[in-house]
Structure formats: C-alpha cells, structure tokens
A and B are shown apart, each in its own frame.
Chain A
Amino acid sequence: MRDPISSSNGADGRVSPIEALSEASRAYGAIDVRSAHPRWGMAVDLERCVGCWSCAVICKSENAVPLGLWWNRILTAGDDLDTPATDEHGDPHLHWVPLACQHCDDAPCEKVCPTSATYINAEGLVLVNQDDCIGCRYCMAACPYGVRVFNWGEAEYPVPEGTGMVATRPVGSVEKCTMCVHRLAEDQVPSCVWSCPAQARIFGDLEAPESRLVQMLESRNPEVLLEEKGTRPKVSYLQPRRRRPIERSES
C-alpha cells in the first residue's frame, strides 16, 4: 500500500486523538457522504473567512510541521500582514486567501518528480512518498502555488518531542498538505476544516452529488486559483456574494 503517511499513522507510539473524542465531537467532524470511489475536494468560503489563522496553526500541530515551515497559510492583499490593502474609499480591504496544496487534478508537481515520490492516490490526493523523495525540489519549481516546503535541516518543534499524529519527515525531503489523509481514513474531515471557527471550509467528496461540498459549489460562485495554468485544482474558493453590503454614505 503506497500511502506512507497514513500508514505511518500512530508512529512514535502516538494514538490518534480521534479515538479519544466525544461522540458529539466525532459527529461534528464526520465526513458527510462518501461515494463508492471518492475524489476529495475542498471549498473555502471567502465570505466567511475571517483571516484568523486557526486552520494554519492546527495544521502545523496536527501534522508536526517543523518550525519555519507551514503547509497552510493565510494570504492577504496588501503590503504585509498588518497593513491590508485599502479600497477606493480608503477603507481596509479585508480579503483573505487561505492557501495550501490545491490537490490539482493535473498536478505539475507530480509530472516533474523524477522518482514518482510525488504521486496521486486513488482518491485524487497529491501525496509525497518520503521514502522515494530525493530532495531535488523540482516539484517546488513546478508548483504554481508555492505551497511545498523543504526540510532544510534537523527539524525543530515547539515541544521537543514534536506534535502531530503522523510520522515526521526526514531532512532533505519535500512536504506539503496531505489533505489530512490520516484523518480521512478515520472518516473525519481534515483538521483545518474541523477547526475553522467561521466554518469557512467545506470538505467533501466531489463524486457525491448529495455532499454539501458539491451543493455549495453548484449554488455559489466557485473560483479556482490560477485557472489559466490548467492545473485543475480540487480546492475552490467561493466568492463573497456582496463585497460592500452597506453603502457608504457620502457626506
């Protein structure tokens, strides 16, 4: 079975905390429907996202992402994190783009990997087999979204033993969002989806028409990033329906 990340689940003697969850929490995180051959996807509702970075932080702890690396981060229009762009009235233009791997159907990173360390699994997820990665970073050059990170040296964690429910990655290899494939195996949505306080992330099976994800994609105005690059991402962004709900009264 070529799913090293999910199969190494529970490495270092760690037990998935999902088992320890209460019934209610488990139910909250359960995947709504799953077809016979699921193709996992996600939508981020930009109308709901408040740019709080909860998903970015829980991703780090869920997946033992070392200090200095992030699999998921929140981009902002504007010069810097604390200086958002302003609109024509000089008001802050509060607009966030949570960005992690887009799990492209036509993934440039997968095509260029010389050893097939980067591969697409049966459920459409783009994953890295750490055993085969030689650290050439070709995939990083090929990914249009800049979501892959490299293990530049011995990993450091905020707590010495590291956090995370998955095996850590070796020095010299590339890593990125796995869509929390280890949680999917336990029928739970990814950590970032589960933890979003604004419920801005919708996870589901793109092959199941009755899934909330597919319904949201049909009823809202989904966009994918850099559509013109032809990567066919499985992560979509739902555009806000009204940018300026309250008309500014000119005085």
Chain B
Amino acid sequence: MSPPRAWTVWISVLGVGLLIGLASFVYQVSNGLGVTGLSNTVTWGLYIVSFMFLVGISAGGLIVVAGAELAGSQRFEHLNRLAVVCSLAAVATAAGSILPDLGRPQRAWKMLAQPHLTSPLVWDMVVLAIYLAIGAIDLYILTRVPVSRKALRVMAIVSLPVAILVHSVTAWIFGLLVARPFWNTPLLAPLFISSALVSGTALVVATAWVVERVTPWRAGAEAMVGLRRLLLWFVSADVFLLFTEVMTTFVSGEPDHREQLDVLLTGRLAPVFWFEIMIGVLLPVVLLLLPSTRKRSGMLMAAAVLLILGVFAKRINILFAAEFEPLVGLSPGIPGGRPGQLFRPDEVYIPSWVELGILTGMAAFFFAIVTLGVQRAVLLRHDEPAAGH
C-alpha cells in the first residue's frame, strides 16, 4: 500500500521546514546573534515570543485530561490522547526555542551543571522538565488497554498544580523584573494562565478538526461542544484580566508603567494590540456565540485559529511593550551593538530572515511531533471501532 499523495506532500513540507530551520540555526551559530534583528535595546525577540507562546499553548492537554478527570466528566475521553500529544509537542518545541536565543548555545549545559537557584530561568527549566515527564507518563497510561482510571486520577492530581506552576514560573521570568514595569505586575502570572488556557484549548480544537478530516479518528460532537464552552469561559477570564490590568495602569499606573502601556494603546505596537483585541478576541467570540455560526464545526475551527493568533499577538505585545521603552531612556540611548551603529534612541525591531528561518524549523518540528504522535498514539487500532459520528 503506497502512502496517499497528500501524506507525501505533508512529510516533505515538514522535512523542508526542518532543513530551513537547521540551516538558519547553523548560520546563526557560526556568525553570532548579530544576524538577527535584535539589539542591546530589544535583546529578546521572536525566539522568546515563541517560547512564551509555546509554553502557553501546551496547556490544552492537561486541561482536557486532568481537568475532565477531576471533574468526573467523560465527554473528552476520545480527545485525551490527541490533547496530550499536542501538549508534549508544544513543551518540547518550547524548550527547544530557548537554544537559538542563547549567544553561546554550546554552553547551555552550564545551566544544568551550575544552576543559579535565584534565577527564574532555572526554576522554569525544572518545572518544564517535570511537565514534559508528566505529559509522557499521561500518554503512556492513555495508550494502554484498558486505560487505568486510577493512574489517570493520580496523574491528574499531580499535573494540575504543576501546570499552574509552569505558566506562573514562565510569567515570573518576566514578572519579577523591576526593570520592566509593564511585566512587573502581580497579574502577569494569572494572565499567562488564562492565555495558556485559551490557546491550549484552541489548539486541541484545531488539531482535532484537522485530524478528523484526514483520518478515521473522531473526537465526537459532544466533546467539541464542550470545548466550545470551555473556550468561551477561558476567553472571558483572559479578557477580564487583561482589562483590569490595562484599566488600572491607564487610570492610576506609575508613569513608567503607563509609558509602556501607551506603546500598545497608541504607540508603535498599537496595530498589533488592536489586532489582538479585534481579530484575536472579539471576532472569535462572536463566531462562538452567534446562533448562525456556533453550530458549524468550520466556524469553531476558524474561531480557534483566530484565538491562537490573538494569543500570539498578545505575547508579542507583552514582550515588546517593555523593551521598546527602557527605563533610562535619555538620549542618546543604548549602544546599537554592531560596528558602525552608534546609539539607538528609538529602537525598532524587525526580525531577520534567520529568525524567521529558525521559527519555520520550530514550527516544522512541532508539527512533526504532532504528526508522529497522531500516527503512533492517537490512531490506535483498539480505538477505531469507537470512531464514528
């Protein structure tokens, strides 16, 4: 039996993506981070955006498995394995996206060999490793026949606090810095959790939609209805947190904090911010609520994709609002960094081709893991009779 054409095309696309990523990474390592659009003002860019985003989007698997298990709900039963596969792929890719951000990736092992315990980066490394292990164990349990309910329950109890910790610690990488008022808010951890819930659930919806169309596997209509409701709850929480944050800062924030918020409201990031609100939140919420669209699975898919884009935009906004307005912003500014560059009072960050190349590679890596996971762990033979509408 020769594989269908679409399959061959998909595998080749992934292969090419991985090659592009690898080539870009090799190029960057041999030339230094100067080949990126980063500077001494905007020192973190797309790699860190994608790190934040991927850690967040990994939330889906644990919610669907652990949340449903603890709530005693069986409606997501069919989705379990797919959701965990998505989580695993996201966490693995997130961990990988730290590597290209390092100036000296060949020394990354020093983080393990001599971890500095006051660094939130070290804490995050630890919780991410635990999180990855939990995902792997979950998948192992879920692929046994019959599935051990007891084991699942124990895992659920362990994994929920860890999941909350993962998103909080990732938020604290940013939120504990006095140097960045926009990040330095106690709301950052709750915001990271709510965004993680939105994007994680949306990812499960989108992946399920695609897998339903290319394989005999079915999530079941009831599960999709459940996910739609969850999405609405999560978006509401996310928007509420964002709103209180923006409102408090807008009305009574410290001048430094307010200045960084203005980058979003009216400044250089305004287009991305208003995209996040209009296209990334309002439009999908309308799609999920309107009687004429809410019943159509295609619309659910569209809403999920928009929500994911919205959360990606949000990561961009959070990262750069603080970086574009350094605390000590007197002229002539911060040294540009490359020979021939003097100072950069008004830094702009435009990602270079190398960064986009590496990002392409990471996307391919992510989808490759999902594909492999779907093939090996989702489409199990014993499950097939259960498929069907």
Contact = CB atoms under 8 A, between A and B. Distances in A.
Interface of A: 66-70, 73, 75-81, 97, 99, 108, 111-117, 132-138, 140-146, 148-154, 156, 170-174, 225-226, 229-231
B142 to A, nearest CB: 34
B45 to A, nearest CB: 10
B110 interface: yes
Contact of A230 (B178, B180, B331, B335): B178
Contact of B332 (A69, A76, A170, A225): A76
B340 interface: yes
B121 interface: yes
Q: Is the interface of B mostly helix, strand, loop or mixed?
A: loop
Q: Is the interface of A mostly helix, strand, loop or mixed?
A: loop
B114 interface: yes
12 contacts: A69-B337, A80-B345, A97-B330, A134-B107, A135-B104, A144-B328, A145-B179, A148-B40, A150-B33, A226-B327, A229-B178, A229-B179
Contacts, number: 166
A115 B41 contact: no
Given A66-B339, A75-B332, A113-B119, A135 B33 contact: yes
Contact of A134 (B32, B103, B335): B103
A81 B323 CA distance: 22
A189 to B, nearest CB: 24
Contact of B177 (A66, A141, A148): A141
Nearest to B30: A171
Pick the most buried of A77, A146, A225: most chain B CB atoms within 10 A of its CB: A146
B334 A78 contact: no
B178 A146 contact: no
A83 to B, nearest CB: 8
A134 B104 contact: yes
Contacts of B331: 75-76, 78-81
Nearest to A144: B179
Interface residues of B, number: 55
Contact of A111 (B118, B335, B339, B341): B118
Contacts of A171: 32, 103-104
Contacts of A145: 179, 327-328
A113 to B, nearest CB: 6
Nearest to A130: B104
Interface string B29-59: 0011111001111011000000000000000
Interface in B290-344: 323, 326-328, 330-332, 334-343
B32 A138 contact: no
Contacts of A148: 40
A171 B173 CA distance: 24
A153 B28 CA distance: 10
A102 B336 CA distance: 20
A138 B104 contact: no
A115 B102 contact: no
Nearest to B345: A80
B104 to A, nearest CB: 4
A122 to B, nearest CB: 18
Contact of A150 (B40, B108, B173, B328): B40
A115 to B, nearest CB: 4
Interface in B96-119: 98, 101-105, 107-108, 110-111, 114-116, 118-119
A226 B32 contact: no
Given A68-B336, A68-B338, A113-B119, 17 more contacts: A75-B332, A80-B332, A81-B332, A108-B178, A132-B110, A134-B102, A134-B105, A141-B43, A141-B323, A143-B179, A150-B40, A150-B43, A152-B32, A153-B32, A174-B103, A229-B179, A229-B327
